[in-house]
A and B are shown apart, each in its own frame.
Chain A
Amino acid sequence: QKEVEQDPGPLSVPEGAIVSLNCTYSNSAFQYFMWYRQYSRKGPELLMYTYSSGNKEDGRFTAQVDKSSKYISLFIRDSQPSDSATYLCAMIGQTGANNLFFGTGTRLTVIP
């Protein structure tokens, strides 16, 4: 079983839709949860991070962490064509780069 599972998609939605991206994980030691956005042929860009359980909102983006279910989500409201990218979840147990685990990424396309 992989440490982090993420549905690879692809996911296509019409412009303005609410998008839900999800990851599950197996290691209860994970404490920091991050979402990266990666445009085609570019490096990953850190979108949001949360510590432990709870919600965090930043503009159209909301990150949720449910540690009891080992489940994290990223919601995108009023999706735009510019949101079309691959979204990678990543998590870390204790701080330290060697403990950073990525999901496989979900390819999202927002259709105008």
Chain B
Amino acid sequence: DTEVTQTPKHLVMGMTNKKSLKCEQHMGHRAMYWYKQKAKKPPELMFVYSYEKLSINESVPSRFSPECPNSSLLNLHLHALQPEDSALYLCASSQGPLSYEQYFGPGTRLTVT
């Protein structure tokens, strides 16, 4: 099983809303990632969790708050987003933080109104 699942598939939220994106993998991977992808652009790394601890935060605004409840789950809490935050949010996982093979989920398409 090389599947990373993400929910919801689509999300529309207002600028004052609070919502969460969820990601799950059952491959026993110990590194998980959040990426943001705008249209016709490559994925941009946001956060990396290694063994359930936040190891990298690529200067992401505090309105994005990641959480890793256990080794299989990764959440991204959203609050007071801006319209320019509308994008495809991708979760990925790899066997460990030193592994170059990252497996991506299908993404959550977020629209901020």
Contact = CB atoms under 8 A, between A and B. Distances in A.
Given A97-B48, A98-B45, A43 B107 contact: yes
Interface string B60-104: 000000000000000000000000000010101010011111111
A88 B100 contact: no
B40 A105 contact: yes
Given A42-B106, A43-B106, A97 B42 contact: no
Interface string B23-42: 00000000101000000111
Contact of A49 (B40, B45, B88, B101): B101
Interface residues of B, number: 28
A34 B107 contact: no
B89 to A, nearest CB: 10
Interface residues of A, number: 23
Interface string A69-112: 00000000000000000001010100111101011110000000
Interface of B: 4, 6, 31, 33, 40-43, 45, 48, 56, 58, 88, 90, 92, 94, 97-107, 109
Given A42-B106, A43-B6, A43-B104, 13 more contacts: A34-B100, A41-B107, A41-B109, A43-B4, A43-B90, A43-B92, A44-B43, A49-B101, A95-B100, A97-B56, A98-B48, A102-B42, A104-B41
